[in-house]
Structure 1
């Protein structure tokens, strides 16, 4: 039988995993629309979808990083990262959690 603390840890892990999946999904949409608009530069509807997808991906990434820390060196350090002194060579990395 799981303890209350183990249950909370599992819930936290699942929440982080869910948020990471949202980041990955949003990034996938951006990549696919980028490829499409590269070959169809006059498709205004696709260009608008691409613009919206970039905004959505940035929003989802910001939400993840505000909660769990930066995903890449290109990310602006969050307050949490600045407080704890982010170290890129220390685990767990986001994909290892």
Structure 2
């Protein structure tokens, strides 16, 4: 992975962590409007960066969310999670 790809995936992981944390908080505080706004903001940011990542580097997940855009199943081209050296 090049430096830009690593930086982008790290930012996605940070945003997803914030979304998960806010999701858990909202489970017990469903009327907290600031937390809901924050969740929606981070969720939108994450979605946007995931789209950008997938356009540049290929799919993040192989669960049918992103159809293959070429004649090769690119999911297998990137390192497996345990092979990454962040």
Q: Tell me if both proteins adopt one fold, taking TM over 0.5 as the criterion.
A: yes
- Structure 1: tracts of 5 or more residues without a match: 1-11
Give the structure 1 partner of residue 73 of structure 2: 86
- CA gap of 1:60–1:87, structure 2 versus 1, over 3 A, is closer
Superposed structure 1 runs of 4+ greater than 3 Å apart: 93-97
Find 1:43's aligned residue among 32, 39, 51: 32
Q: Give runs of aligned pairs for residues 1-97 of structure 1, distance below 5 A.
A: 13-72=2-61, 73-77=63-67, 81-88=68-75, 90-93=76-79, 95=81, 96=83
Give the TM-score of the pair, scaled to structure 2.
0.79
The whole-number CA distance in structure 2 between the counterparts of 1:94 and 1:18 is 17
Q: CA RMSD in A?
A: 2.0
1:60: Cα distance to partner?
0.9
Give the TM-score of the pair, scaled to structure 1.
0.72
Comparing 66-75 and 33-42, the one that deviates more: 66-75
Higher helix share goes to which structure? 1
- Structure 2: tracts of 5 or more residues without a match: none
Q: Report which of the two structures shows the higher radius of gyration computed on alpha carbons.
A: 1
Give the structure 2 partner of residue 6 of structure 1: none
